[in-house]
A = this chain, B = another copy of it.
C-alpha cells in the first residue's frame, strides 16, 4: 500500500545465528545475533539455480533492524533491494542479500577482530558465511561473494576483503572510513573538552552517564562514543584494555597507539603486499562518497582510489557526488547492481 510500505516481491527471512567466534567476547555482548536474508523472486522461481551473495553491513551504532527504518517519502533499504532485484526490465543478475549485525555495546565493531570488542571479522567471514552457504542455494565461493556498506560499513567493505580475500571477491564502499588523520583525529579536541567539562576527564564517567539516560541525547555523545569505540576496535591490548591514541587531558597524539590505528587505515593497508595482492584479485571495486561528507570521507575515498591506481588496478567504479554523510541510502542499489554484474 503505497506510499507507506511497498509489498516485497522477494522474501525477507529473519533469522538468528549462534556465533562461536563471538562467544566470550570481552564486552559480554550476545553471541546469538539476528540476521536477515533477502531472497529475490528468482530464488523461488528457479529452484535448481544457485545465487551469488551480497553481504550488507552497517555503520557505527547500526542495529540490524534499522534496515527497515523508513525515511520520509523514500523506500527503505529492504524495499530498495527488492526493487533492484525484482525488476525484470533492468536485467540485474539476481543475488541473495545478507544483512549482518555487528553491533556492540560500544556502538560497533568495525568488522575486525579485536580483544576490545570481539572477533567480528571471524564471525562475519566464518560463522555467518558458513551459515548462509549451508542454508541457502548460494554460489559458495569468494568470486560470487561481495561485501558492501556505508560509513563504518564501507570501512568493513574495504578492509575485510583485503584481509580475507578467500571469503570476499568484491567490495563496495559508500563513504567508508579512510584516511584516519582526516576522518577521526578531527574530533579528538572535542572529546578532550567534553571529558574535561562534563566527565572529570574520565571515559568511565561518560559511559556511566551515557547508559543512564536516553542514548545520544547530549551533543557530545557521538564524538565520545566514536573515539572510544574506534580505540576499542583498533588499539585494545590483548587483555581488552582500550588504549586511546591521544592523551585525554591534552590531546597529545600518542604515536605508538596512533600507528596501530594507521595499520588498519584502508589507505595504508593497500600499500602492504598481501593486501595489495588481495585488492588486485577483486572482481569488483566500487567507491563513492558525498563531496560534503562531514568526516571528509570523500577525501578518504580519493586517497584509497589513488592506491588502486598505484597498484595498476584499472577496473573500478569511483564517484564523488553532491551530498553529506547522511541519508545516502539511495546509493546502495547503484553499488549492488555494479557488484551483481561482476559476481554473477
Say whether A103 contacts B216, CB under 8 Å.
no
Say whether A103 contacts B5, CB under 8 Å.
no
Chain B CB within 8 A of A137 CB: no
Chain B CB within 8 A of A267 CB: yes
Say whether A30 contacts B2, CB under 8 Å.
yes
Contact of A249 among B246, B251, B302 (CB under 8 A): B302
Interface string of A243-285 (1 = CB under 8 A from B): 0001101111100000000000001000000000000000000
Copies assembled: 4
Chain B CB within 8 A of A186 CB: yes
In the assembled complex, which residues on chain B have CB atoms less than 8 Å from the CB atom of A3? 63, 103, 105
Chain B CB within 8 A of A32 CB: yes
Of residues 186 to 222 in A, which have CB atoms within 8 Å of B's CB atoms?
186, 188-189, 192-193, 196-197, 214-217
Given contacts A34-B5, A69-B70, A250 and B306 within 8 Å (CB-CB) = yes
A15 to B317, CA, bound (A): 44
In the assembled complex, which residues on chain B have CB atoms less than 8 Å from the CB atom of A70? 63, 65-66, 69
Contact of A189 among B65, B71, B246, B299 (CB under 8 A): B299
A3, A72, A181, A306 interface centre (most CB from chain B within 10 Å): A72
Chain B CB within 8 A of A311 CB: no
Which 10 residue pairs are nearest across A and B when measured between Cβ atoms?
A73-B215, A61-B72, A250-B303, A189-B296, A182-B189, A69-B69, A214-B330, A182-B251, A4-B63, A181-B253
